[in-house]
């Protein structure tokens, strides 16, 4: 054996090199295994590589890496009805118990019929009714009490088709995109038409998105003091941000203050968010999910001749704008090999 470098040291070097190789190999594992190879998957990976490669023309400094996701219909199932609407309806019995004179008053009486099994009653409820029910069940209590109620409901409520908690009905491919973006220095935000306080209750546990990165429809709160002298914030029946349509761009400015570099949506309510995203300089990614998988989930549009719906409407005009503006349409049927994590 030659003097100088001992054999163990050579072994150590080889082991370290091998470790380094493994680390590199690991980083080349597919970050989006639930996505089929295709335009959509390529667009996501191409965007991340372009914006995070130092010196590349599309490079984005880490502090500007913001990605926004609509929630209902983009991150989790929204049919047959938004889960927050289900929450509001299912809170009505408790509300009526506290205020018995509401039991015979529409729209609360209609909701009671509906909950007692009269499905036809649903048709009697219009948008104005839903607003009345929303204000009655989402305001007037403290922020902390509301949070407890939502937590309790989420632990018990189940989606009628899959018989699972709503929080299990998230789309695995989208969670992979969120993780992939975060692994590459992006801050991931939810920008939802749903209630900001509602979504914040579970976003951290379900998506790894902290409360301060949830932008949603928000009501005013009122500062006051409880009986123990401690500060209490009470939810008011006054809208501060209607985070839908143009309100999504306005909400992004209010809460984030920059154009996102990537945005993901699925309906006309996301149009302005996607436009606002693309209006920023440099590399920008806009993607929109089409629900075209009748077997594994639902089909609705009315884009591409799919059935029309009031819940997550994706019009042909929006589809045409997507094509014209270079947004990427994700086909649930063709682009995703797996939808839910509980599937085989």
Which residues of the shown chain bind a copy of itself in the complex (CB under 8 A)? 1, 3-6, 9, 63, 66, 143, 187, 196-197, 200, 204, 210-212, 214, 218, 220-223, 230-231, 233, 240-241, 246-247, 249-250, 253-258, 272, 275-276, 279
Question: Measured from the CB of residue 67, what is the shortest distance to a copy of itself in angstroms?
Answer: 13
Cβ atoms < 10 Å from Cβ of 39? 14
Provide the β-strand partners of residue 302. Answer: 314
Question: Measured from the CB of residue 106, what is the shortest distance to a copy of itself in angstroms?
Answer: 33
Question: Measured from the CB of residue 303, what is the shortest distance to a copy of itself in angstroms?
Answer: 22
Question: Measured from the CB of residue 163, what is the shortest distance to a copy of itself in angstroms?
Answer: 31
| Residue indicated by tokens 């996701």 | 69
Cβ(207)–Cβ(190) below 8 Å: yes
Closer CB to a copy of itself, 68 or 309, in the complex: 68
Closer CB to a copy of itself, 45 or 240, in the complex: 240
Cβ atoms < 10 Å from Cβ of 290? 23
Helix (H, G, I), strand (E, B) or coil at 302: strand
Cβ(115)–Cβ(93) below 8 Å: yes
Provide the β-strand partners of residue 314. Answer: 302
Closer CB to a copy of itself, 34 or 244, in the complex: 244
Question: Measured from the CB of residue 26, what is the shortest distance to a copy of itself in angstroms?
Answer: 24
Closer CB to a copy of itself, 64 or 113, in the complex: 64
Q: Is 333 exposed, middle or buried (0-12, 13-18, 19+ CB in 10 A)?
A: middle
CA distance 183 to 265: 21
Token pair listed for 142: 């403290």
Question: Measured from the CB of residue 222, what is the shortest distance to a copy of itself in angstroms?
Answer: 7
Closer CB to a copy of itself, 235 or 291, in the complex: 235
Closer CB to a copy of itself, 117 or 257, in the complex: 257
User: How is residue 323 annotated by DSSP?
Assistant: H
């Amino acid at each position: 054996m030659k003097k100088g470098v001992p054999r163990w040291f050579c072994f150590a070097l080889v082991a370290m090199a091998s470790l380094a190789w493994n680390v590199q190999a690991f980083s080349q594992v597919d970050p989006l295994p639930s996505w089929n190879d295709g335009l959509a998957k390529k667009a996501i990976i191409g965007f991340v590589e372009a914006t995070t490669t130092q010196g590349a023309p599309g490079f984005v400094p880490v502090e500007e890496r913001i990605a926004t996701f609509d929630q209902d219909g983009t991150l989790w199932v929204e049919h047959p009805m938004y889960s927050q609407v289900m929450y509001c309806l299912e809170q009505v019995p408790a509300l009526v118990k506290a205020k018995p004179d509401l039991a015979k008053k529409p729209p609360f009486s209609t909701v009671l019929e509906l909950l007692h099994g009269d499905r036809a009653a649903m048709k009697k409820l219009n948008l104005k009714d839903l607003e009345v029910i929303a204000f009655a069940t989402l305001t007037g209590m403290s922020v902390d009490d509301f949070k407890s109620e939502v937590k309790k409901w989420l632990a018990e409520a189940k989606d009628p088709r899959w018989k699972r908690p709503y929080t299990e009905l998230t789309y695995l491919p989208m969670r992979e995109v969120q993780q992939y973006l975060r692994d590459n220095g992006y801050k991931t935000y939810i920008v939802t038409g749903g209630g900001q306080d509602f979504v914040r209750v579970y976003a951290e546990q379900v998506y790894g998105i902290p409360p301060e990165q949830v932008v949603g429809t928000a009501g005013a709160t009122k500062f006051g003091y409880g009986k123990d002298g401690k500060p209490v914030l009470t939810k008011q029946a006054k809208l501060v941000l209607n985070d839908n349509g143009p309100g999504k761009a306005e909400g992004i400015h209010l809460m984030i203050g920059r154009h996102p570099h990537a945005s993901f949506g699925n309906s006309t309510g996301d149009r302005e968010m996607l436009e606002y995203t693309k209006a920023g300089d440099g590399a920008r990614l806009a993607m929109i999910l089409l629900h075209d998988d009748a077997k594994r989930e639902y089909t609705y549009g009315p884009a591409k001749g799919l059935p029309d719906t009031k819940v997550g409407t994706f019009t042909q005009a929006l589809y045409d704008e997507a094509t014209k503006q270079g947004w990427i349409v994700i086909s649930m049927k063709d682009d995703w090999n797996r939808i839910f994590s509980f599937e085989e």
